[in-house]
Amino acid sequence: MCLALSVLLLTACLCAEATTVEDSLVIGIQSSKTIQLFPLEPVERDIMSVYDLIYDGVMVINDDYIPECNLAESWSVSPNGKSWTFRLREDVYFSDGSQLTAHDVVATANWILTKANSSSGDTGYYVNLKYFIDTISAEDDHTVVVKAERAYYGLLYAMTFPVVPAWALETPNPPGTGAYMCDYFVPGVGLRLVPNPHWYLGQPQVTSIIFEMYNSAPKVIEAYEYNRVDAIFTRSIASAQYKGGSTSLALDYRTNQLECLLMNHSAFPLNRQSVREAIRLIIDADKIARDIYNGMVERTDTPFIAGTWMYNDNLGSYFRTDPQRALSLLEADGWYDVDEDGVLERMNDEGEYVELAMNIYVYEEPDNDVRLETANYISDTLNAYGFKVEVKTMTFSDVQEALSVGNFHLCLASYAMDVCPDAGFLLMRTNTGNYCRYRSEEITDLCSKLRKQVNREDYQQVLFQIQEQFAKDCPFICLFYRSGTVLTRRMYTTVRDVRELELLKGIDTFRTD
């Protein structure tokens, strides 16, 4: 009944056809923790899309997910790949009228690196920068030189951090070089962006962007339903019901949250590759995406983003759902329903029959209330093919503990993937994110090789090899990247790849003429 009433209410509120934006836009976002505007220390995801309009990086990631120049006008790399030189544009000014210099870039990077290397435990959002930069210096006012410990194409992705003036590193609401600047900000209430008068590309068409803040996802959706805002950012599965209307535009965006089914290689029976492959062949990830997540995901079979230059799409035969092939694999590995109770058994080294039994741990998140439903689907599906799977719902901290000590069989969990396409922290031996206890010399060598590539073509080739080895070994199952939706009555962008943390990308250059 509540769902029906919501749909009727939305239909009543949206009385006009969706149109293109004119000179202003009002957006509803979820924000209750941001007390001051500190772009180098973000605490909420929606606020980062605000920062994206105010601050620029030396590099930017384009619609093809390839790094290209932003504040830089060019870059070059030394023959050994360990020295990177970025030549900055000379026509860029902060919103206070001061000119951008290499010293601002260096000061910002060093502030991030100091925090990242701090022993206090508070290493900051941009902590991964320390894995890319050894030292950074200004050769002159418009030339930045980065020394890296290894030749690594991924460094270009790392150079997307927001740059602020050297004097304003710890100043709230520091000037930026982006198209907009903050006109006012009231924590928990709202903020307003107006054009940066010194933006090097001139005056944007949209001259006022107002953000109204709400403390929960349902409140954000309610603001849209009652026509209090023009647009909202939401990752709520419930927002899928609003996608079909002619009066509202839905811009799907990809998050960096990779949902996986982890498999403990040190626990029987998942230490057997046949069992892991059988699970992969039985589970229908497309069905989960469609029926449980209402399509609010972007499917992937590897840790990389499908549909981009980094994704190896020649591995389909490994990932096709095929329960009969799964049963054949298990039978070839000695699994039979010996006592005809519906559960497969196999004789162990002691001559005793053991069941194909395992648990699946799951935890819930405020914005992901369907993970438990997914776990139950996986359990029911596997049990129908001779497995004996029990779902255990746990707190996030308890699951973390179980993963860290290896006390689990299966676990539905998610990884926050870095902007740089490199899954080494999940796959290499003894790395921090390798909760599956996956041990592969081939994959470790390939990940090490990846971090020695300087150009995109060679980097891509190694990425493809990593994914092929991943498909062969079946260390765990990638389900999808979570996605969200920008619901809007006003079209404001023409970019092809809308991504979390930059949900207003393209509004600065959008034109109706």
Predicted local confidence at residue 497, as pLDDT? 87
Work out the average pLDDT over 149-155: 92
Phi, psi of 382 (to 5 degrees): -65, -40
Q: Which 8-state DSSP code applies to residue 169?
A: T
Fold (CATH) for 256-482: Dipeptide-binding Protein; domain 3 (3.10.105)
Predicted local confidence at residue 368, as pLDDT? 59
Whether 108 and 164 have beta carbons less than 8 Å apart is answered as yes
Distance CA 77, CA 79 (A): 7
Kindly report, residue by residue over 312-322, the tens digit of the pLDDT: 999 999 999 99
Q: Is residue 387 over pLDDT 50?
A: yes
What is the CB neighbour count within 10 angstroms for residue 385? Answer: 18
Q: Is residue 71 over pLDDT 70?
A: yes
Predicted local confidence at residue 415, as pLDDT? 95
Predicted local confidence at residue 367, as pLDDT? 60
Fold (CATH) for 16-54+178-248+489-513: D-Maltodextrin-Binding Protein; domain 2 (3.40.190)
Q: Which residues of 408-443 are buried (b: 16+ CB within 10 A; e: fewer)?
A: bbbbbbbbebbbbbbbbbbbbeeeeebbbbbebeeb
Q: Tell which residue, 462, 451, 448, 447, has the closest CA to residue 309.
A: 462
Which pLDDT band holds residue 438 (cuts at 50, 70, 90)? very high
Predicted local confidence at residue 246, as pLDDT? 62
Kindly report, residue by residue over 360-369, the tens digit of the pLDDT: 999 977 665 7
Work out the average pLDDT over 453-477: 97
Work out the average pLDDT over 37-66: 96
Whether 386 and 415 have beta carbons less than 8 Å apart is answered as no
Tokens 């709230």, residue located: 172
Q: Tell which residue, 218, 260, 211, has the closest CA to residue 235.
A: 218
The region of weakest confidence among 30-34, 247-251, 478-482 is 247-251
Whether 213 and 345 have beta carbons less than 8 Å apart is answered as no
Which pLDDT band holds residue 49 (cuts at 50, 70, 90)? very high
Predicted local confidence at residue 4, as pLDDT? 36
Q: Tell which residue, 420, 74, 498, 70, has the closest CA to residue 252.
A: 498
Which of residues 248 and 154 earns the better pLDDT score? 154
Predicted local confidence at residue 14, as pLDDT? 35
Work out the average pLDDT over 478-486: 95
The chain-wide mean pLDDT, for the chain, equals: 92
Predicted local confidence at residue 19, as pLDDT? 85
Which of residues 486 and 16 earns the better pLDDT score? 486
Q: Is residue 478 over pLDDT 90?
A: yes
Q: Is residue 305 over pLDDT 90?
A: yes
Q: Is residue 17 over pLDDT 80?
A: no
195 upstream amide cis, omega within 30 of 0? no
CATH architecture of 56-168: Alpha-Beta Complex (3.90)
Predicted local confidence at residue 15, as pLDDT? 37
All residues at 6 or more sequence positions from 163 whose CB lies less than 8 Å from its CB, including other chains: 55, 56, 57, 58, 71, 100, 104, 105, 108, 176, 177
Work out the average pLDDT over 15-28: 81
Predicted local confidence at residue 115, as pLDDT? 95
Kindly report, residue by residue over 176-231, the tens digit of the pLDDT: 999 999 999 999 999 999 999 999 999 999 999 999 999 999 999 999 999 999 99
The domain locations on the chain are: 16-54+178-248+489-513, 56-168, 256-482
Q: What angle do CA 350, 354, 360 make, to 5 degrees?
A: 135
Work out the average pLDDT over 29-50: 96
Please give the C-alpha separations between residue 413 and each of 311, 416, 487, in angstroms, as whole numbers.
Answer: 22, 10, 27
Share above pLDDT 90 across residues of the chain, in percent, rounded to a whole number: 85
Q: Is residue 243 over pLDDT 70?
A: no
Predicted local confidence at residue 244, as pLDDT? 60
Which pLDDT band holds residue 6 (cuts at 50, 70, 90)? very low
Q: Is residue 266 over pLDDT 80?
A: yes
Region of 430 please: left (phi>0), alpha (psi -120 to 50) or beta: left
Which pLDDT band holds residue 1 (cuts at 50, 70, 90)? very low
Q: What angle do CA 484, 17, 242 make, to 5 degrees?
A: 30
Q: Tell which residue, 511, 480, 479, 475, has the closest CA to residue 493.
A: 511
Predicted local confidence at residue 366, as pLDDT? 66
